[in-house]
């Protein structure tokens, strides 16, 4: 008899313990079939988004210096990396043959001019035919043109800087034979530089000359370069559906060099846009949609077109209206027509349901002590 009483006491004690444990972990009852989610009401907000792209630095003016004629280099007047002014002589080619030809042409022109003046005097006295005077005038003019031609050839023997800039590596030395096309050095005007970068066709309506650009380079970590949009190309590439934008950047310290890769950020003008949290968007292939809340607290699918994204927000260009309520968190559990409830209302702490003035777990402890006492008396 005592054994059976002890068993009953032990069973009662175990049952009480299980009831207390389950009572602590069980969630509070919610609306039948409703799924707890977090929602958000869509509204128009100020939106100042950016467009990011990779661009390449180009010099404002750039040329590879070369000779116009085949000739031997007589003198080189620069060193690699020199800053030169427009018109400065850089290379002088041998011109001895042209100097001889010039002296001969000048002598011929002088003689032709003297003969013309004599015939002109005789023509005034009607001692020679008028045609003889005209013929000699043509000979004189041809001789003078020959002199100018040789002088132009002599000027081609001196290679000058076409504009101010910085020279690259010198590639010729005195005594070298150069021909047309032989590179002598690169000359770049880098006091200001251009950065060309592609922008998607969809952003073309928001592009304009003068917009602010910010750029960074791996060569200068931690430094930001500021410029502006100089022009937008007149054509869109049919292969990439992008338009080339040219940015203008000041470069007085000449840190930016042609060919450098730049990360360019185009700051677009502030505007009003319909913004939603980016995590609310469900992406399936190339389509995007949201779950919109109906008045009866069920959800429907709303297909949307997403514009730019930044800082956890996404712009919705179509598919939603201001004032719509959408599901932000919990979309993975939803289907069209699912009933929802607010997540904070669905999860109530178990201890909050205890009567006022009663400490949760105290009754369970008291019951446990009573059962132990009964089992002891029975034994």
The pLDDT of residue 8 is 57
Nearest to 78 by CA among 173, 201, 195: 173
Burial class (CB in 10 A: 0-12, 13-18, 19+), 91: buried
- Output the pLDDT for position 95: 81
Q: Which segments in the chain show pLDDT lower than 70? A: 1-32, 344-379
Phi-psi region of 303 (alpha: psi -120 to 50; beta: other; left: phi over 0): beta
User: What is the C-alpha to C-alpha distance for residues 260 and 57, in angstroms, rounded to an integer?
Assistant: 5
- CA gap 227, 152 in Å, rounded: 42
Give the count of alpha carbons within 13 A of 49, CB side only.
22
Q: Which of the 8 DSSP states describes residue 31?
A: S
pLDDT at 7: 53
Structure pTM? 0.59
Domain boundaries, the chain: 35-47+272-344, 52-59+190-270, 95-156
pLDDT at residue number 285: 86
User: Residue 377's Cα: distance from chain center in Å?
Assistant: 85
Sign of CA dihedral 110, 113, 117, 123: positive
State residue 194's pLDDT score.
Answer: 96
pLDDT for residue 124: 82
DSSP per-residue codes, 187-238: EEEEEEEEEEEEEEGGGGGG--TT-EEEEE-TTSTT--EEEEEEEEEEEEET
- For 75-100, how does the pLDDT look when each residue is reduced to its tens digit (9 = 90+)? 999 999 999 999 999 999 988 887 88
- Give the 3-state secondary structure of residue 141: helix
Name the class of domain 52-59+190-270: mainly beta
Per-residue pLDDT at 15: 53
The CATH number of the domain covering residues in 95-156? 1.10.287
* Spatial separation of the C-alpha atoms in residues 246 and 266, rounded to whole Å: 11
H or E element that contains 341:
strand 340-342
**Is domain 35-47+272-344 given the CATH code 2.40.420.20 in the classification?**
yes
For 351-375, the pLDDT digits (tens) are 433 333 343 434 444 444 444 444 4
Contact 191, 216 (CB under 8 A): no
Query: Which residues, including other chains, have CB under 8 Å from residue 34's CB and lie 6 or more apart?
Result: 297, 339, 340, 341, 346
What lies within 8 Å, CB to CB, of 118 at 6+ separation is none
pLDDT at 354: 38
């Amino acid at each position: 008899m005592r054994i059976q009483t002890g068993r009953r006491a032990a069973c009662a004690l175990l049952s009480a313990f299980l009831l207390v444990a389950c009572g602590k972990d069980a969630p509070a009852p919610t609306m039948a079939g409703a799924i707890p989610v977090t929602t958000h009401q869509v509204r128009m907000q100020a939106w100042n988004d950016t467009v990011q792209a990779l661009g390449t630095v180009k010099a404002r003016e750039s040329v590879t210096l070369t000779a116009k004629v085949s000739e031997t280099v007589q003198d080189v007047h620069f060193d690699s990396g020199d800053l030169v002014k427009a018109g400065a002589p850089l290379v002088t080619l041998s011109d001895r043959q042209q100097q001889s030809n010039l002296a001969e042409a000048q002598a011929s022109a002088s003689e032709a001019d003297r003969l013309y003046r004599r015939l002109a005097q005789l023509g005034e006295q009607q001692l020679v035919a008028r045609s003889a005077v005209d013929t000699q005038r043509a000979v004189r003019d041809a001789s003078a043109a020959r002199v100018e031609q040789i002088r132009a050839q002599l000027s081609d023997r001196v290679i000058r800087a076409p504009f101010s800039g910085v020279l690259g590596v010198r590639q010729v030395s005195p005594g070298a034979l150069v021909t047309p096309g032989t590179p002598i050095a690169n000359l770049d005007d880098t006091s200001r530089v251009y950065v060309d970068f592609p922008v998607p066709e969809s952003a073309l309506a928001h592009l304009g000359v003068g917009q602010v650009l910010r750029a960074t380079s791996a060569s200068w970590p931690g430094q930001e370069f500021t410029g502006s949009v100089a022009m937008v190309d007149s054509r869109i590439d049919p292969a990439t559906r992008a338009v080339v934008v040219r940015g203008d950047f000041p470069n007085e310290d000449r840190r930016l060099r042609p060919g450098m890769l730049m990360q360019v950020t185009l700051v677009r003008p502030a505007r009003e846009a319909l913004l939603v949290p980016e995590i609310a968007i469900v992406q399936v292939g190339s389509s995007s949609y949201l779950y919109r809340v109906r008045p009866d607290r069920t959800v429907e699918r709303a297909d949307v077109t997403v514009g730019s994204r930044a800082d956890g927000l996404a712009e919705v260009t179509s598919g939603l209206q201001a004032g719509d309520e959408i599901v932000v968190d919990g979309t993975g559990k939803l289907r069209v027509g699912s009933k929802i409830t607010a997540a904070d209302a669905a999860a109530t702490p178990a201890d909050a349901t205890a009567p006022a003035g009663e400490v949760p777990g105290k009754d369970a402890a008291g019951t446990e002590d009573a059962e132990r006492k009964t089992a002891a008396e029975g034994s």
